[in-house]
Chains A and B, each alone.
Chain A
Amino acid sequence: MSVNLTLLTVMGALYACGIYLILERSLTRVLLGLMLLANATNLLILATGGYAGLAPIFDKDTPAGDYNDPLPQALILTSIVISFAVTAFMLGIIYRTWVLARQDEIQDDAEDRRVAETPSFDAEDDSVIPVETSEFPLAMVGPDEAVTIMSGDRPVRADKAAAEEQPGSLNVDPRPEGGEE
């Protein structure tokens, strides 16, 4: 199989430029890089078809080896259409980025940054367990304020209610909890 050396050189140059461009931060350059890559690949597919030959329209006097291989060209046609659609979509996205952020650069992922900066101390898992584990939120109330809370339908002063919850409290009243008489 012989191949066209010029086409191959062009293909290599396109690949090199394309790879260089997609490594940039500017979105327009990334898009140009993707277009170059797609076109370089089209040339590669063309090269796999082998010799250039006659148009593949059947003629009984032409020997089979003289025709061009039509399949790679069909593949290239499909891939051109696809890369056309993707390019149009990318242009839309780039324009939208410009409208929203006034810049043509790939932006950092904010959540990634946040996770990276999170300290290893985790308030939920690592903090000291408070001594006061009662259901009654005394920590929010100053000691002198008399706050009443509802225990069932019975009003109780918050500090008394908390005292009842403490271990060893005198909450041995036979009345059922909830204050039913």
Chain B
Amino acid sequence: MNITSFAPLAVVLPILGAALTFLLIHYPRAQRAISIAILSLTLLLECWLLASVWEGGTAAVDIGGWLPPWGIVLVVDQFSSLMLVVSSTVSLAVLIYATGQGMADGDRDAPVSIFHPTYLILVAGVSNAFLTGDLFNLYVGFEILLTASYVLITLGGTGPRIRAGVTYVVVSVVSSVLFLIAIAMIYGATGTINMADLAIKLGDLDQGTRTLLHVMLLVAFGIKAAIFPLSFWLPDSYPTAPAPVTAVFAGLLTKVGVYAMVRTETLLFPGDALNAPLMVAALLTMVVGILGALAQSDIKRLLSFTLVSHIGYMVFGLAVSTVAGLGAAVFYVAHHITIQTSLFLVTGLIERRGGSSSMDRVAGLAKLSPVLGVLFFIPAMNLAGIPPFSGFLGKLGLLQAGVELGTPLAYALVIGGVLTSLLTLLAIARVWNRAFWRKPEDAEHPDPVLLAAPADSATGDRAGKTNVTLLPRTMVGSTLGLVAFGVALTVFAGPLFRVADQSAEEMLDRSPYIHAVLGEDAPVPPVPPAAQPGPRQQQGQSQGGGK
């Protein structure tokens, strides 16, 4: 009896919590207590899973005792357990933030009674997608989290949210249909949907069929991960949702898509068959995304565009597909989940204090609320990749991997990465100059809230009081906690990079995963013949061995 046999609890606990909170829909206090307790419990379990995988290696759980490849398996390896821990930490912080907001506002802006069960279901879907070792179960996990997200993005049913929700729902459903078609075709071609079994059987298909299946999966996941040119839906739909919802979407949903892409690329279709198109997509995602961000005047929309842009970095690491590149991508995913979520949470606070999230209306916040300034500044610099923050370390790892690979396309990506990082700094600096340093009178359409509380010494107390009423302590506290977690990722970047590199090594090796699912005597196929292990693969191996 191993701790990993409790892995299904990471999915089951939030679902049970959702049922409980739904029953207690008229008791908001009990709802809050239960959902926070359930998520904390899940987080503890996941930390334990990560620790046990760190020592004991990859492990698989057969659901209901059905043996793979027939039954559904959950696989706990270093990558999935790391993602679980980071995503649960982030969702716990957002949950506390949301309860703070609910307690301060009541049900006016967002009906919190419905929020709790839906949110827990979303967390269950995310955990399921991270853990599953079965392609159809991955589809079900996606559908669980997407259906919950449909409800969350249209929470309250106001005009703008419904308008944004329609785009979001239609695009998500189309991507799900594409994914389902891909699953059907894969089942038709191989007769299995177990991922470890597929890793063995897909290698026997001929090159054309394999490429078709590969592209189908990548397009379906690319829509979910918002990779250019499949990213158009994201900046339109995310910003209108309530602040905690946007924050958790930005942190988790696109990363689930990236996670699925990493699994596809490493486990199902190893080799470098589609690496060149992926690199081009990564370059375009980075550059086009950040150029979009520069044109925005609303902070939430600007952050949505930086979100798209930085997905490009993760695809960059994935496309390089050496141990160094993949490890840096894993590190970057963990970093970016935390940072992007905290930035959206701070933007929610800015909206409360400044009355708006538009840069034409907000100004002078550095003086009105220095705490807000600090909370924004740290993750913002982290996102832009200023040393010594984790954003810098992640980008450095990616650039090193790119230079090591040394093809012209890789150099183009390195240049694009540096350029994107600088443009991110520009976009963030514009927000800082306008919302924090500018005087409220200088704003184009200053919000009455800002002018009502002049921040000079005589009325300093009054401004202080406004801060307290507009910024509940729970919300500031949870944001502070998440920003601190982001800083902790910087402080403990060494161990984290070791976990990331080791998980990258395991994913490229594939044998731990296949052996954990199908038993020790399962054959691990070589990388398919069409994709000869070129210099990049050997380089990656020797590089990994050196560490």
Do these two chains interact?
yes
Q: How far is the CB of B50 from chain A (nearest CB, A)?
A: 30
Known: A78-B136, A115-B296. A34 touches B188 (CB 8 A): no
Interface check B22, CB cutoff 8 A: no
The 6 closest A-B pairs by CB, nearest first: A48-B188, A45-B184, A44-B184, A100-B159, A82-B143, A48-B187
Q: Which residues of B contact A47 (CB under 8 A)?
A: 184, 188
Instruction: Verify B187–A45 contact, CB threshold 8 A.
Output: yes
Interface check A124, CB cutoff 8 A: yes
Known contacts A34-B173, A72-B187; 14 further A-B pairs (Cβ under 8 A) = A38-B173, A38-B177, A41-B184, A47-B188, A71-B187, A75-B183, A85-B147, A93-B154, A93-B165, A100-B159, A107-B163, A111-B298, A115-B295, A124-B433
Number of residues in A with C-beta < 8 Å to the partner? 36
6 examples of A-B residue contacts, CB within 8 angstroms: A22-B174, A34-B173, A82-B147, A86-B173, A93-B166, A124-B438
Per-position 1/0 for A35-71, Cβ under 8 A of B: 0011001001101100000000000000000000001
> Which B144-172 residues sit within 8 Å CB-CB of chain A?
147, 150-151, 154, 157, 159-160, 162-167, 169-170
Interface check B496, CB cutoff 8 A: no
Interface check A123, CB cutoff 8 A: yes
Instruction: Verify B301–A34 contact, CB threshold 8 A.
Output: no
Known: A78-B136, A100-B162. A86 touches B236 (CB 8 A): no
Instruction: Verify A89–B150 contact, CB threshold 8 A.
Output: yes
Q: How far is the CB of B429 from chain A (nearest CB, A)?
A: 11
Q: How far is the CB of B277 from chain A (nearest CB, A)?
A: 24
Q: Which residues of B contact A101 (CB under 8 A)?
A: 159
A115–B433 Cα gap in the complex (Å)?
A: 20
Give A86's nearest chain B residue, CB to CB: B173
Q: Which residues of B contact A34 (CB under 8 A)?
A: 170, 173-174, 177
Interface check A27, CB cutoff 8 A: yes
Q: Which residues of A contact B297 (CB under 8 A)?
A: 115, 118
Known: A71-B187, A86-B147, A109-B163. A93 touches B169 (CB 8 A): yes
Q: How far is the CB of B226 from chain A (nearest CB, A)?
A: 16
* B residues in contact (CB < 8 Å) with A: 136, 140, 143, 147, 150-151, 154, 157, 159-160, 162-167, 169-170, 173-174, 176-177, 180-181, 183-185, 187-188, 193, 236, 239, 295-298, 301, 433-434, 438, 444
Q: How far is the CB of B168 from chain A (nearest CB, A)?
A: 10
Within 8 Å by CB of A106, from B151, B167, B177, B239, lies: B167
Q: Which residues of B contact A118 (CB under 8 A)?
A: 295, 297
Instruction: Verify A48–B147 contact, CB threshold 8 A.
Output: no
Q: Which residues of A contact B160 (CB under 8 A)?
A: 110
- Most-contacted residue by chain B among A78, A111, A112 (CB, 10 A): A111
Instruction: Verify A96–B177 contact, CB threshold 8 A.
Output: no
Known: A96-B157, A100-B159, A112-B236. A48 touches B185 (CB 8 A): yes
For the residues of A in contact with B, the DSSP-based class is helix
Give B438's nearest chain A residue, CB to CB: A124
Instruction: Verify B162–A93 contact, CB threshold 8 A.
Output: yes
Give B442's nearest chain A residue, CB to CB: A124
Within 8 Å by CB of B169, from A79, A90, A96, A112, lies: A90
Instruction: Verify B143–A123 contact, CB threshold 8 A.
Output: no
Instruction: Verify B169–A86 contact, CB threshold 8 A.
Output: yes
A33–B155 Cα gap in the complex (Å)?
A: 25
Q: Which residues of B contact A109 (CB under 8 A)?
A: 163-164, 236
A85–B150 Cα gap in the complex (Å)?
A: 11
Q: How far is the CB of A17 from chain B (nearest CB, A)?
A: 14
Q: How far is the CB of B440 from chain A (nearest CB, A)?
A: 13
A11–B333 Cα gap in the complex (Å)?
A: 39
Q: Which residues of A contact B183 (CB under 8 A)?
A: 45, 75
A89–B155 Cα gap in the complex (Å)?
A: 13
Q: How far is the CB of A137 from chain B (nearest CB, A)?
A: 8
Q: How far is the CB of B443 from chain A (nearest CB, A)?
A: 9
Q: How far is the CB of A94 from chain B (nearest CB, A)?
A: 8
Q: How far is the CB of B527 from chain A (nearest CB, A)?
A: 27
Within 8 Å by CB of B170, from A30, A44, A100, A112, lies: A30
Instruction: Verify A106–B236 contact, CB threshold 8 A.
Output: no
Within 8 Å by CB of B180, from A22, A41, A93, lies: A41
A44–B179 Cα gap in the complex (Å)?
A: 13
Give A100's nearest chain B residue, CB to CB: B159
Q: Which residues of A contact B298 (CB under 8 A)?
A: 111
Q: Which residues of A contact B181 (CB under 8 A)?
A: 41, 44
A34–B173 Cα gap in the complex (Å)?
A: 8
A93–B438 Cα gap in the complex (Å)?
A: 41
A100–B70 Cα gap in the complex (Å)?
A: 49
Instruction: Verify A79–B162 contact, CB threshold 8 A.
Output: no
Q: How far is the CB of B150 from chain A (nearest CB, A)?
A: 6
Q: Which residues of B contact A85 (CB under 8 A)?
A: 147
Q: Which residues of B contact A38 (CB under 8 A)?
A: 173, 177
A79–B193 Cα gap in the complex (Å)?
A: 15
Known: A47-B188, A97-B162. A123 touches B157 (CB 8 A): no
Q: Which residues of B contact A96 (CB under 8 A)?
A: 154, 157, 162
A113–B177 Cα gap in the complex (Å)?
A: 30
A175–B444 Cα gap in the complex (Å)?
A: 39
> Which A146-164 residues sit within 8 Å CB-CB of chain B?
none
Instruction: Verify B177–A37 contact, CB threshold 8 A.
Output: yes
Q: How far is the CB of A119 from chain B (nearest CB, A)?
A: 12
A104–B180 Cα gap in the complex (Å)?
A: 28
Q: How far is the CB of B70 from chain A (nearest CB, A)?
A: 9
Known: A75-B136, A78-B136. A89 touches B184 (CB 8 A): no
Q: How far is the CB of B220 from chain A (nearest CB, A)?
A: 12
Q: Which residues of A contact B185 (CB under 8 A)?
A: 44, 48
